[in-house]
Chains A and B, each alone.
Chain A
Amino acid sequence: MHGSAISLIELGAVFFGLGVLGRLAWRIGVSPIPLYLLGGLAFGSGGLVPLEGIDGFTDIAGEIGVVLLLLLLGLEYSAAELVTGLRRSWLAGLVDIVLNAVPGAAVALLLGWGPVGALAMAGVTYISSSGIIAKVLGDLGRLGNRETPVVLSILVFEDLAMAVYLPILTALLAGATLLGGLTAVGVSLLAITVVLLVALRFGRYVSMIVDSPEPEVFLLRVLGAALLVAGVASQLQVSAAVGAFLLGIAISGSTAENATKLLEPLRDLFAAMFFVVFGLNTDPKTIPPVLGFAIGLAVVTTVTKIATGWFAAKRQGISRLGRARAGAALVARGEFSIVIAGLAVSTGAVPDELAALATAYVLLMAILGPVAARVVEPVARAVQRKTRPAV
């Protein structure tokens, strides 16, 4: 068989396999992300069967996956929603950062991965998966619940936090000094402010550049603009992901909605590729040594996310049952934890064990999150019944 035939067969097998895994995941009511990761782990370095000849394609496909994940995250909320979200939920957002970033950072320091490793792990345990959470809330018919706006505004805040966090992480991973790090903070704060202002005032002009009534032209323009911005951002040492994310925020209104509809299938395709590549590059043998830490982190950060949701919902005058639901809904971690880990590991500035720990952690949390959201109500009711004195 000649080269391209083997590549096609391998790629076809990978996509078809992912399709089967995805179907299985939705059947049993969990996110497909952990299964994609497991699929990647099974092959590639240290896995059962090494895949050869397609790594050139899978690597770039994974990169495009990250760009699309962040572009659609940016498209998800309008600039106005981000600003009101920031104004309404900044206190809950700060509690969220402190409670959920600290456990990750502490474990990284304990393992001797240094301050940069600590910053990366802080991000991994902090960021909830808005994709999994939105899906679970919809599936459970909780969109109309009173605590749901609280959950969503925390996700909006996390979204903004990512815009500040990613450039800092990128700068520090590239080996910047403390001064360089502070400059990166300044630059990223300035960039996000400028983008928000532009999006609020001149959003329709940015939208006009990419908009077109022909779906085909529109798709090519949005995708082209995203890859261009991502590439330029990457060249300027502000990660590609951040560039795509800021572009997503700047595109607004109906253009953003249409772009989301068009790009969703592409994102799903390339993001699946990204998870597989991440799994491929992670040696399964590195996971058992860090599994204990991953389980510990999973337990601690499940509790801290529930506490975050409880606190935020309580401030809005939601009843105890609603507070428990808000907390449990936030537990899921997924795509963005892997994006952060991928960013960190690819620069070589942190040990490879970080990839193993992040993989094990996300495997646990992406499964635990939807389960927690489902079982919280019966559990909370049972607890209420027990604590209520018998009449």
Chain B
Amino acid sequence: MNVEVTPLPGIGTRQDFESRSGRRIGVITHRDGHFDLIVSKADDPDSCAASIPLTVEESAALANLLGAPSLVAQLREQATGVNTRQLPLAPGSPFDGRTLGDTALRTRTAVSVVAVVRAGTVHPSPRPDFVLGGGDMLVTVGTTDGLALAADVLDRG
């Protein structure tokens, strides 16, 4: 994909690309470090339908929301024979509020949890004492059978 980088003298840089739907999507990086998310108008690609200022934390959250699936996709490409899945931990699951060690996923299903995505933030390589919460997304690696079993374990305990 072709990301166009345009310097904006006195302001910062604009980086954008044209999506398949014909809209220009991009980011303005201001000199002071904050970002603007920009989306072009449908009828006038030269101008912006939205220009949304984001704080550093907000842009990190957005990047994680969009970046987590691509992280998984990368894993899938790198190692054949290994499957990755994002397993949701439903609120009310037996492990809602308990630690990752309590699930004993590794011993019971041979599945590893490589990251937990919570509220748009990725917590990589969680330790056994990591406390899980309802709504967490567990990024897991394992065999197809192991992953199916792990999904059951997380649902039913």
Q: Which residues of A contact B (CB under 8 A)?
A: 76-77, 81, 84-85, 130, 134, 141-149, 152-153, 155-156, 257, 261, 318-319, 321-322, 325, 377
Contacts and interface: CB of A to CB of B under 8 A. Distances in A.
A141 B50 contact: yes
B46 A149 contact: no
A318 B46 contact: yes
- Interface of B (DSSP majority class): strand
Interface residues of B, number: 22
A318 B48 CA distance: 14
A160 B7 CA distance: 18
A134 B11 CA distance: 9
B10 A142 contact: no
A321 B48 CA distance: 12
B7 A149 contact: yes
Given A81-B7, A149-B14, A257 B32 contact: yes
Nearest to B37: A144
B142 interface: no
Nearest to A145: B47
A268 to B, nearest CB: 17
29 contacts: A76-B9, A81-B7, A81-B10, A84-B7, A141-B48, A141-B50, A141-B51, A143-B11, A143-B36, A143-B38, A143-B51, A144-B16, A144-B26, A144-B38, A145-B46, A145-B47, A147-B46, A149-B6, A149-B8, A149-B14, A152-B8, A152-B10, A155-B9, A318-B46, A319-B44, A319-B45, A319-B46, A321-B46, A322-B47
Nearest to B50: A141
Contacts of B7: 81, 84, 149
Contacts of A325: 46-47
B6, B26, B38, B47 pick with most chain A CB within 10 angstroms: B47
Contact of A76 (B6, B10, B16, B26): B10
A134, A145, A153, A321 pick with most chain B CB within 10 angstroms: A145
A156 B45 CA distance: 25
A257 B26 CA distance: 24
B131 to A, nearest CB: 40
B28, B32, B36, B44 pick with most chain A CB within 10 angstroms: B44
Contacts of B36: 143-144
Interface string B31-45: 110001010100011
A375 to B, nearest CB: 15
Contacts of A142: 47-48, 51
Contact of A321 (B6, B9, B47, B51): B47
Interface string B1-33: 000001111110010100000000010100110
